[in-house]
Amino acid sequence: MRVLSGIQPSGSLHLGNFFGMMKKMIDYQEHEDLFCFIANYHAMTSLSDGKVLAKGTLEAAANFLALGLDPEKSTFWVQSDLQEVQELSWILSNFTPMGLLERCHSYKDKVAQGIKPNHGLFAYPVLMTADILLFQSDKVPVGKDQKQHLEVARDIAIKYNNEYGDVFTLPEPEIDENVATVPGLDGRKMSKSYGNTIDLFLEEKALRKQIMRIVTDSTPPEEPKNPETCNLFQIYRLFLDKGQLAELRTRYETPGLRYGDVKQELFETTRDFFAPYAEKRKALLDDPDGLRKILAMGAEKARYAATKTMRKVRKKGGLAY
């Protein structure tokens, strides 16, 4: 089964990104035909500084590869290396009713926030549809915020297939309602926009500082504590196996536990967990040409699949004459 997802390149990564999305994607490569790309065209809807985008793209690639994405087992590329996706996006635009895009929440939310919309923002879901259909994707794992965009993709695919026969595979969204939202320092969803993150790949001192800022209640050390309502526990558990989790739970329920000690342990655990990945990431970033080579190989693999689809689509639409 072909599983596809795209990730916008965006500066730093936090535990929510890793445990909520990246780890899951990387696990797919073991038993599915994983297609994973860096959505740099999409990032242009919120970023115009070319230098920042180029740097962010290489960093995003290094992050994924360092964390375990294997470019041999999966197909991993940068969206803009395959211009086929732009051609398909235009073709699909002609099967996209205006109303379908006008109803999109993410578009409406941005307009409500006062952002003056341009055509790129409006057409964002069509490009996303092209990303998905170009590779005949069966399954697309996304966060809840992308659910409607997947519905748009299916609607467009159905409209196109009604006209030309079964050209496109209808993609199934995989929206894992159970993937626990990773809480941030203050207990709200961990998010860059809330400034409540624990970041991957930080210097030791800065990492410790973030972890020490985790908000806990004022239960004194001599009283037992409730792990279920404790933010610190909910973050720490991401790193623990069943046995370790049970052990930590018992410590919470036994008088004597100090939150400060648990924070120190969490700091050491996080640091040690990501240290080998950070080293790998640094080596990748120190050799940008090597990184570009890996991405070029990924683009080649992706192009093979894209060309097959485009040959059909160009023929059906009369572009090949």
Q: Which residues are annotated as catalytic?
A: 110, 189, 192
The token pair at 174 is 């995989």
Q: Is residue 10 near ligand ADP by the rule CB under 6 A?
A: yes
Nearer to ligand ADP, 40 or 96 (CB): 40
d(CA 223, CA 257): 8
H, E, C per residue of 82-121: CCHHHHHHHHHHCCCCHHHHHCCHHHHHHHHCCCCCCHHH
Instruction: Identify residue 195 by its one-letter amino acid code.
Output: G
Work out how close the CB of 291 gets to ligand TRP at its nearest, in angstroms, rounded to a whole number: 21
Nearer to ligand ADP, 177 or 289 (CB): 177
**Residue 183: helix, strand or coil by DSSP?**
strand
CB 294 within 8 A of CB 71: yes
Torsions phi, psi of 280, nearest 5? -65, -40
Work out how close the CB of 230 gets to ligand TRP at its nearest, in angstroms, rounded to a whole number: 30
CB 109 within 8 A of CB 133: no
CB 47 within 8 A of CB 15: no
Return the one option of ligand ADP, ligand TRP, none that residue 288 interacts with (CB less than 5 to 8 A, by type): none
d(CA 6, CA 37): 5
Binding segment for ligand ADP (CB under 6 A), chosen from 30-38, 59-67, 186-194, 248-256, is 186-194
Nearer to ligand TRP, 9 or 227 (CB): 9
Nearer to ligand TRP, 95 or 107 (CB): 107
Which of positions 18-37 make contact with ligand ADP (CB under 6 A)? 20-21
Beta strands per DSSP E along the chain = 2-7, 33-38, 75-78, 139-141, 172-174
Please pick, from the candidates 91, 126, 150, 182, the single residue that binds ligand ADP as defined by CB under 6 A.
182
Q: Is residue 191 near ligand ADP by the rule CB under 6 A?
A: yes
d(CA 318, CA 321): 6
Q: Is residue 189 near ligand ADP by the rule CB under 6 A?
A: yes
Return the one option of ligand TRP, ligand ADP, none that residue 136 interacts with (CB less than 5 to 8 A, by type): none
The token pair at 58 is 């290489």
Which residue in the shown chain puts its C-beta closest to ligand TRP? 6
Q: Is residue 67 near ligand ADP by the rule CB under 6 A?
A: no
Work out how close the CB of 271 gets to ligand TRP at its nearest, in angstroms, rounded to a whole number: 28
Nearer to ligand ADP, 86 or 181 (CB): 181
- CA angle centred on 116, ends 115 and 119, rounded to 5°: 120
Work out how close the CB of 137 gets to ligand TRP at its nearest, in angstroms, rounded to a whole number: 8
The token pair at 230 is 């404790």
Nearer to ligand TRP, 8 or 75 (CB): 8
- What are the residues binding ligand TRP (CB under 6 A)? 4-6, 8, 39, 42, 128, 131-132, 140, 142, 146
Which residues contact ligand ADP (rule: CB under 6 A)? Answer: 10, 16-17, 20-21, 143, 181-182, 189-193
